[in-house]
Chains A and B, each alone.
Chain A
Amino acid sequence: MNAMIVTYSLYLTLSLLVTVWVARTLHMNGRVFLVAAFKGNEALADSVNHLLVVGFYLVNLGFVSLYLKLDDNVETGQGVFEALAGKMGTVLMGLGLMHFFNLFVFSRLRRNAELDQAPPPVAPVSALAKVLAGAARPAAPPLED
């Protein structure tokens, strides 16, 4: 088994492990965001969560396979590490970007859901019942803090 094959094997194993780890992290910790975003509809949240993780796997594994081929020949033990470091560094950066993008999507979904459910941000100055009862209207309502 030559150094090239060792590099490729290590690259595939490590990339796969890291991808699985990130995807599982997203799957476990993203769920609560999605449940909030879908207003407590857990079935829908789980479904979207699963679909997102499938997409995450496809994009990352696709990238890992496309990026497999080494341009230079690797012949020594030192070369294995150098080539592997270069490849893994890029894969990790890609995973990191995807991860942050996912977080951005999750937080956006949650913010929008919160906005949809937000009550009016100011208190009413009076109520119809009070006006009908002839109560005097406050001249200048105090500002809320």
Chain B
Amino acid sequence: MKTLFVFYDSECGLCSATRDRLSRMIQAVPLVFVSYQDPEVQAIFPSLALLNPGDNIIAMSDSGDIYEGDSAWITILWALRDYRRWALRLARPRWRPHARRIVETIAKNRHRFSRVLHLVAAAGGQG
């Protein structure tokens, strides 16, 4: 894998803040953040809508492998040099269900979390 494209929700403060944090980390595989609401992206990649990017974070490798939700998050952690160990750990059967539950809970309540944490969506990053 040479690049990991991350389709995130740019209208969610928590997601934008997370994008900024992840962009600053050391990446073993470069992460490219793309807002799924970006009209340009929707024009180039209309099939993105089939993946329901509004429900769950979507990650796609340069070779076209698609990850979503917990598997997207684990793959993102794997792409970060200092968190690869965590990715391998979370992918184990013992931790995977917890990872999935946490990711789903946060994804479902991301706008509420953004309000509580006073995180306002802001454009920026690479996408």
Cα-based distance from A143 to B100 in the complex (angstroms): 10
Neighbour of B51 across the interface among A121, A122, A137, CB < 8 A: A137
A86 within 8 A of B: no
Asked if B97 and A127 sit within 8 Å, CB to CB, the answer is no
List the A residue with the shortest CB-CB distance to B93: A145
Chain A residues with CB under 8 A of B93: 143-145
Number of residues from A at the complex interface, CB < 8 A: 21
Chain A residues with CB under 8 A of B84: 115, 118
Asked if A127 and B1 sit within 8 Å, CB to CB, the answer is no
Asked if A120 and B78 sit within 8 Å, CB to CB, the answer is yes
A131 within 8 A of B: yes
Number of A-B contacts (CB under 8 A): 67
9 smallest A-B Cβ distances: which pairs? A128-B64, A121-B91, A124-B65, A122-B71, A126-B66, A122-B74, A131-B47, A120-B75, A121-B88
Identify the interface centre among A116, A124, A134, A143: most chain B CB within 10 Å of its CB.
A124
The binding surface of chain A is classed by DSSP as loop
Chain B residues with CB under 8 A of A118: 78, 84, 88
Number of residues from B at the complex interface, CB < 8 A: 28
11 A-B interface contacts by CB (under 8 A): A115-B85, A120-B67, A120-B87, A121-B88, A121-B91, A124-B65, A129-B64, A131-B66, A137-B51, A143-B100, A144-B91
Cα-based distance from A131 to B96 in the complex (angstroms): 25
Task: Given A118-B84, A120-B1, check contact A127 B67 (CB 8 Å).
Answer: no
B31 within 8 A of A: no
Neighbour of B28 across the interface among A116, A123, A131, A137, CB < 8 A: A116
Interface string of B81-106 (1 = CB under 8 A from A): 00011011011010011001000000
